[in-house]
Amino acid sequence: MEAERQAVVVGAGPAGLSCAWRLMQAGIDVEVLEAQATAGGNVQTMEVDGFRLEGGPHTFMPSADAIVEVAREAGLADKMTASLPAAKKRFIVRQGRMRVVFGGPLSFLASRLLSFRGKLRLLQEPFRTRQRGDPTDTAERFFVRRFGPEAARVLAGAFISGVYAGDISRLSAPAAFPLFWRFEQEHGSMIRGAMKHRRQRRAELAAAGRKPLPVKGLLSFSGGLGTLTATLAAKLGPRLHLDTPVRGLARQAGGWRVEHAGGSLDCRALVLAVPPGPAASLLEPLDAEAAGAVTAVPMAPVAVVHLGFERRCAEIPDGFGFLAPRGQGVRSLGVLFPSRLFADRTPPGGELLTAFIGGVHDAGALALDDGPLADIALADLRTLTGLGREPALVQVRRYPEAIPQLVCGHLERMELLRQRLHDLPGLLLAGNYLQGVGLKDAVASGVAAAREVAVYLQQRGGGEGERDHGDC
């Protein structure tokens, strides 16, 4: 039996790596067990024939504090790169055409994305301050109340396709859109709330002596978003064990025993930073109610289809890409234009387009072979842009359980989960299914779990050689 560790983290995706990194930085003896042959989860960057392909997400926002802080700590401050100016332009599919998303008053008035009636209803949003929902609201009810039926269908529908690959009628408004929900509850309006939120954030940064990042737009890293996870994995060194699936957990005096493919590890604190399915399987023998709360989080399947072209495609407009609400004549959830976002994504003069296909309304798409999936993306691009060329590169990655769906009842289930974990001292969870589905949420959950582990270990008295972990 190996010596007891202070902490073990199960899972080396963004949440697990961030958690383990923070623990290591705090001087806590930590080991990470990852079932797959590579670390990073779906945040990995691959190099294929000179094309730089992202496994999942492509960017993060400068306001993603946890990502920015972890990146700086890991020595990646000078590796953060801002998207090209062209990325500011975004498109939504409406009536068989890509329409530019308005970015200001003049573009709003000129836009054909919404009808005159739809625009008029949207303009009323700041003045509908008496309308507030209740915690059972679906995203559909919330956005119809705030924006009106047309803007909810088009704008919110596109956003939900792109972020959740989900169903607007099933997602919980307070769980899936907590910031928007809070804006309405506290200020009576999303727009009023957003304006006050920006002012408050600037004041908080100033009070903390921090300056906002001197960039606008979206961020990645030199070498791709996978630079973050690859760097954290490298810094963990021998503490990270790949190809090491965990078989089971057992409580014991003073901590936990983790049974894995190569043996077992004893630890005082344990973090499960794996998706809902594996987390529920490990929790089931310990607490069926906790496992049930995790199992109840549905997952949307998504296929990521990369199309690489040797030469720039003149038919593709400069911009971030397009999102497609349901019922607009295309099957893709959306297509990004990575070579228009960052300059290092293709061989010189090339083009890279990345389509997302599937979601809760088209789960069967993942059963298709690579060729038919590429054909779907190409057909949509030809319909919308007139693209006439065949790609030199096609790469497909399938994620049967890609994006957590924070459906109605999610907040109540997570509260039940927290209550049940009180009876499992030293066991914590991390992951983007808890309070949000983005990369920023995954990293933030890992950072939060590391902080809780540090507090837990301190409360039970530091072991030999431990230092104060309060700043973890």
Mean pLDDT by 10 residues, the chain (472 residues): 85 98 98 98 97 96 94 96 92 95 84 94 93 92 97 96 94 96 94 90 79 77 97 98 97 94 95 98 98 98 98 96 95 98 96 98 98 98 96 98 97 97 97 94 98 95 50 65
Instruction: Show which of 207, 239, 260 is a domain's final residue.
Output: 207
- Are the CB atoms for 238 and 90 separated by under 8 Å? no
Q: Is there a single domain that holds both residue 201 and residue 233? A: no
Q: Is there a single domain that holds both residue 292 and residue 311? A: no
Q: Is there a single domain that holds both residue 282 and residue 412? A: yes
Q: Is there a single domain that holds both residue 231 and residue 286? A: yes
Q: Is there a single domain that holds both residue 23 and residue 140? A: no
Q: Is there a single domain that holds both residue 194 and residue 229? A: no
Check: pTM over 0.85? Answer yes or no. Answer: yes
Query: How high is the pLDDT of residue 205?
Result: 75
In a domain, 214, yes or no: no
Number of alpha helices (DSSP H) and beta strands (DSSP E) in the chain: 17, 18
In a domain, 69, yes or no: no
In a domain, 178, yes or no: yes
Query: How high is the pLDDT of residue 467?
Result: 47
- Are the CB atoms for 259 and 51 separated by under 8 Å? no
Q: For residue 125, what is the domain's CATH number?
A: 1.10.3110.10
- Are the CB atoms for 292 and 35 separated by under 8 Å? no
- DSSP string spanning 55-116? SS---B-TT-HHHHHHHHHTT-GGGEEEPPGGGG--EEEETTEEEEPP-SHHHHHH-SSS-H
CA distance 166 to 157: 9
Q: Is there a single domain that holds both residue 315 and residue 355? A: yes
Q: Is there a single domain that holds both residue 294 and residue 411? A: yes
Query: How high is the pLDDT of residue 109?
Result: 82
Residue type, 24: M
Q: Is there a single domain that holds both residue 198 and residue 147? A: yes
Q: For residue 394, what is the domain's CATH number?
A: 3.90.660.20
Name the burial class of residue 106, with classes exposed (0-12), middle (13-18) and buried (19+) by CB atoms within 10 angstroms of its CB. Answer: exposed
Residue type, 433: Y
Number of domains within the chain: 3
Query: How high is the pLDDT of residue 214?
Result: 62
Q: Is there a single domain that holds both residue 230 and residue 321? A: no
In a domain, 218, yes or no: no
Query: How high is the pLDDT of residue 463?
Result: 44
Task: Write out the residue range of the structural domain in which residue 284 sits.
Answer: 5-46+223-298+407-459
